[in-house]
Amino acid sequence: MRASGVRVVVMGVAGCGKSAVARRLADVLGLPMREGDDFHPAGNVEKMKLGVPLTDDDRVEWLARLGADLAAHPEGVVLSCSALKKNYRDGLRLAAPGLAFVYLHIELAESLRRVASRPGHFYPPSLVASQFEALQDPTGEVRVIRLDATLPLDTLAALAGDNLFNNA
């Protein structure tokens, strides 16, 4: 299915499967996929490698880059991004009116298990708790689809794609 003009952020805490689901969803929708981590300034990545949680100030440039990229894809795009706080999501919505979010809900223990099992990733398990502390649950916000992150990846992509078209 080709989803012209659909812009969607696959969001959630570390280890929820944002990148993997976003890749599959992009394939389902026939859209390009953008990896949110690729937009972090080098200083942010270094902080995270050292186990230092990012602050709202640290995220300003990153979120601006993400918003600009969403705006540059009016034909449609799937972006993986934690989008932990409502004001972050609202900023992305301003950049891309009609933006949808797929929130991958996961429990702390499963998130920790997954992050600890990722070889070579810059994000350490020691930062997982800080993401849960920062998370403002988007359930109930406009154009947010909440899915159980423990479902199989292909199931998550299919559910997200179906929900995007049924709730457009």
CA atoms lying within 13 Å on the CB side of residue 145: 22
- CA 131 – CA 64 distance, rounded (Å): 20
- CA 22 – CA 77 distance, rounded (Å): 10
Residues in contact with 130: Cβ distance below 8 Å, sequence separation at least 6, in sequence order: 53
Cα dist from 6 to 1, 103, 115, 144, whole Å: 12, 16, 29, 13
Is the distance from CB of 81 to CB of 36 less than 8 angstroms? yes
Cα dist from 117 to 20, 113, 122, 136, 146, whole Å: 15, 6, 12, 25, 24
- CA 78 – CA 137 distance, rounded (Å): 20
Given a cut of 70, the residues of the chain with pLDDT beneath it are 1-2, 120-123, 167-168
Sorted by where each starts, the structural domains of the chain and their CATH numbers stand as 7-166 (3.40.50.300)
Locus of tokens 């080098």? 42
pTM listed for this prediction = 0.92
Give residue 116's pLDDT.
Answer: 81
